[in-house]
A and B are shown apart, each in its own frame.
Chain A
Amino acid sequence: MRGRKKRSYKQGNPRNMENVVSLTSLRDGEIGVVAYTVGGFGLVRRLAEMGLTPGVEVKVLRKGPFRGPFEFEVRGVALALGYGVASKVFVKPGRT
Chain B
Amino acid sequence: MPSVMVWLLRYLSNLEGRNLMAKRQLTIALAGNANVGKSVIFNQLTGLNQIVGNWPGKTVERAEGTLYFKGYKIRIIDLPGIYSLSTFSMEEIVSRDYIAVQKPDIIINVVDASALERNLYFTLQLLELEAPIIVDLNQVDFAAKKGLRIDVKKLSEALGVPVVPTVAVTGSGIDEMLSTVIAVSGEEEKLKPLKVRYGKEIEEKVEALKKLVSDNLSQLCTVYPARWIAVKLLERDTDVSGKLKNYKRGKEVLKNAEKLAVELEKIHGEASPVVMASERYGLANKIAKEVTVVEASPRISLEQKLDAVTTHKVLGYPILVAIVASMFALIFIGGNFLIAGLEFLFENLLFHVEEVLSSFLPEIAVSLINDGILAGVVAGITIALPYIVPFYIILALLEDSGYLPRAAFLMDNLMHKIGLHGKAFIPLMLGYGCSVPACIGCRIMETERERFLTGFVVVLIPCAARTVIILGLVGRFVGLHAALALYVFDLVLVFALGRIAFKALPGEPVGLIMEMPPYKKPSIKNILMKTWIRTKDFIYMALPIIVAGSVVIEALYLLGFMNYVVEAASPLMSGWLGLPPEAGIPLVFGILRKELTLILLSELVPLESLTAIQMIVFSLVTMIYIPCIATIAACIREFGWRRALAITVIDIALAFFIGGLAYQLLPLVMTT
Contact = CB atoms under 8 A, between A and B. Distances in A.
Contact of B281 (A12, A53, A66, A68): A53
B273 A48 contact: yes
B512 A81 contact: yes
- Give the dominant DSSP class at A's interface: mixed
A42 B409 contact: no
B412 A75 contact: no
A54 B236 CA distance: 19
Contacts of A13: 268-270
B280 to A, nearest CB: 9
A78 B116 CA distance: 13
B88 A65 contact: no
Interface string A58-87: 000010111111010001111111111100
Given A75-B118, A85-B511, A11 B269 contact: yes
B382 interface: no
B121 interface: yes
Interface string B45-80: 000000000000000000000000000000000000
A13 B275 CA distance: 11
Contacts of B413: 64-69, 83
A76 B270 contact: no
Contacts of B86: 45, 49
Contacts of B268: 13
A64 B269 contact: no
B603 interface: no
Contacts of B365: none
B425 to A, nearest CB: 12
A82 B308 contact: no
B513 A76 contact: no
A66 B413 CA distance: 7
A92 B311 CA distance: 26
B512 A11 contact: no
Interface in B269-298: 269-271, 273-274, 277-278, 281, 285
B83 A49 contact: yes
B277 A82 contact: no
Interface residues of B, number: 46
Interface in B527-569: none
B117 A76 contact: yes
B513 A53 contact: no
A84 B511 contact: yes
A48 B514 CA distance: 14
B278 A53 contact: yes
Nearest to A56: B281
A49 B277 contact: yes
Max chain A CB contacts within 10 Å: which of B83, B268, B273, B285? Answer: B273
A65 B316 contact: yes
B115 interface: yes
Nearest to A69: B412
Contacts of B409: 64, 68-69, 71, 80
Interface in B300-355: 308, 311, 313-314, 316
B277 A69 contact: no
Nearest to B292: A76
Closest 7 CB pairs of A and B: A82-B512, A85-B511, A11-B270, A48-B277, A82-B511, A53-B278, A78-B516
12 contacts: A45-B86, A45-B273, A49-B84, A55-B278, A65-B313, A65-B316, A69-B409, A71-B311, A76-B117, A79-B515, A80-B408, A83-B412
Interface of B: 83-84, 86, 88, 114-118, 121, 235-236, 268-271, 273-274, 277-278, 281, 285, 308, 311, 313-314, 316, 405, 408-410, 412-413, 416, 421-422, 506-507, 511-518
Interface of A: 2, 9, 11-14, 36-37, 41-51, 53-56, 62, 64-69, 71, 75-85
Given A65-B413, A71-B409, A85-B513, 7 more contacts: A11-B271, A36-B270, A46-B88, A46-B513, A50-B515, A54-B278, A71-B311
